[in-house]
Amino acid sequence: MRRGALAIEEAVVGFQVGRERFNELFQHTSDGVLVVDRALRVVAINPAASRLTTCSADATIGVKVCHEVAICQNAEGFELCETACPGRAALDRGVTQETLDVNFPGRGGQVAPAACVPMTAADGEPLAMILIRDVSDRAALEEHILVVERVDRISGLCARAYCDELYRREVRLAERQQRALAVVIVSLSGEAMDGDDTDPSIRRVAEAIRASLRRVDIAGRYDHATFAVVLLDADANGAASLIARIEDRLAKQPLAQGVSMAYGVGTVATDGYAELLKAARQSAIRSR
């Protein structure tokens, strides 16, 4: 008898610990948790769900979740309320839907991934728990990664891969419309480019290039000490004008001693669309 009583006591203690642990997770997890009853009314909402949906607990408890708080939809954006309600599937058939999107009317239609899981109340009544993934940090991280990939850290101009992408797009468009296009290569060289003055020199030239561009032009860091500028609707005269503007700005803030510059130009009129960049690079090499 004593052994049986101990087992019951341990089970009760375990249940209490489990309930306290669940409540702690419910209150402090970064993912949103909504619990709904048979009528799809919200019976519990944690702080994270209140933040994600912009619906306070006081205003949400007892409210039907559909259309008021969160709208379940599939990957194509179609609402599931009438045809395949995941809450109803969890309540009536105990079916878990692990892949789901929820739309937040209070956030202007912002969508987050979610899951709908069946559960049971203390009195045995079926409930459905909607778990909403908080992806706000991930979205910010993805945007940060995107910026890092697009922008060169030292020069602040377009990174090589992104510059190449923009260049190919503009060449295709210009060729299709038979418009003028020019490329200017700015190349730095000298022993100082391998020392402590490398990054400051790169930044100074990049700032001069950026300040000399028109709004429609594209500039990127092509490699360690080379920049590429794509001039839309420009010919050799436009390229010469850009170079003059860069030189004028650098004359006010000279580069470190031992750093030399060379320019290369390629134009559609002289080199064609396919050989534009190659011609500008070879021109820069010859002018060193």
Q: Specify the 3-state DSSP secondary structure of 157.
A: coil
Calculate mean pLDDT across residues 136-151: 67
Tens of pLDDT, residue by residue over 71-80, are: 888 766 678 7
Strands, sheet with 97-104, edge to edge from the N-terminal-most edge strand: 42-45, 32-36, 126-132, 110-120, 97-104, 71-73
Calculate mean pLDDT across residues 2-12: 46
pLDDT band at 268 (very low <50, low <70, confident <90, very high): very high
Residue 8 scores a pLDDT above 70: no
Residue 4 scores a pLDDT above 60: no
What ranges do the domains of the chain cover?
29-134, 147-286
- Cα distance between residue 185 and residue 265, in whole Å: 6
Tens of pLDDT, residue by residue over 228-252, are: 999 998 999 999 999 999 999 998 8
Burial 6-27 (b: 16+ CB within 10 A, else e): eeeeeeeeeeeeeeeeeeeebe
Q: Do domains 29-134 and 147-286 have the same CATH topology?
A: no
Calculate mean pLDDT across residues 92-119: 83
Strand blocks (E) in 17-124:
32-36, 42-45, 71-73, 97-104, 110-120
- Cα distance between residue 65 and residue 55, in whole Å: 11
Residue 25 scores a pLDDT above 90: no
Tens of pLDDT, residue by residue over 30-43, are: 788 889 999 999 99
CATH fold of 147-286: Alpha-Beta Plaits (3.30.70)
- The CA-based dihedral angle spanning residues 277, 282, 286, 288, taken in that order and rounded to the nearest 10 degrees: 60
Residue 19 scores a pLDDT above 80: no
Tens of pLDDT, residue by residue over 158-188, are: 999 889 988 998 999 889 889 899 999 999 9
pLDDT at 143: 64
Tens of pLDDT, residue by residue over 187-207, are: 998 877 776 668 888 999 999
Instruction: Please determine, looking at this structure, whether the domain spanning 29-134 carries the CATH number 3.30.450.20.
Output: yes
The gap from C-alpha 235 to its chain's centroid, in whole angstroms, comes to 36
pLDDT at 218: 94
